[in-house]
Amino acid sequence: AMEDVNAKFVSQKISRTRWRPLPAAALQAPDVFATGSWDNEDNRISFWSVGDLGNGNAGLSGEYQGEPQLLCDIGHNGDVMDMQFLDQERIVVASSTGDVTVFRYHQNNHTLSTNQRWEKAHYHVDQGTSCTGVICNNPDIVSVGEDGRINLFRVDQKDAVRTIDNADSSTLHAVTFLRKTEILTVNSIGQLKIWDLRQQGSKPSQIFYLTSDRVPLQCVDRHPNQQHIVATGGQDGMLSIWDIRQGTMPVSLLNAHEAEMWEVHFHPSNPDHLFTCSEDGSLWHWDASADVTEKPSFLHQGGRSTTYFSHNTINQSVVSAWLSNDPAKDRMEITNLVPHQTLSVNSLDVLGPCLVYGTDAEAIYVNRQLFA
- State the CATH number of the domain containing residue 9: 2.130.10.10
Mean pLDDT of 177-183: 96
Is 59 part of a structural domain of the chain? no
- On whether the CB atoms of residues 169 and 214 are closer than 8 A, the answer is no
Is 325 part of a structural domain of the chain? yes
What distances in angstroms separate CA 312 from CA 85, 176, 274, one per listed residue?
27, 26, 21
What distances in angstroms separate CA 14 from CA 67, 81, 113, 338, one per listed residue?
16, 10, 20, 16
Whether the per-residue pLDDT at 302 is higher than 50: the answer is no
**Residue 40: CA count within 13 A, CB half-sphere:** 21
Whether the per-residue pLDDT at 240 is higher than 60: the answer is yes
Mean pLDDT of 290-313: 35
pLDDT at position 342, please? 80
User: How many domains in the chain?
Assistant: 1
Residue 355: give the domain boundaries: 5-52+66-292+317-367
pTM, full prediction = 0.88
Is 311 part of a structural domain of the chain? no
pLDDT at position 328, please? 53
Is 61 part of a structural domain of the chain? no
pLDDT at position 310, please? 29
- Count CB neighbours of 47 within 10 A: 23
pLDDT band at 155 (very low <50, low <70, confident <90, very high): very high
pLDDT at position 318, please? 43
Is 123 part of a structural domain of the chain? yes
Whether the per-residue pLDDT at 22 is higher than 50: the answer is yes
Is 307 part of a structural domain of the chain? no
pLDDT tens by residue, 308-339: 332 233 333 444 578 765 555 456 788 999 97
Question: Does 66 or 302 have the greater pLDDT score?
Answer: 66
Is 303 part of a structural domain of the chain? no
Q: Can you give the C-alpha Rg of the chain in angstroms? A: 20
pLDDT at position 206, please? 95
Is 128 part of a structural domain of the chain? yes
pLDDT band at 300 (very low <50, low <70, confident <90, very high): very low
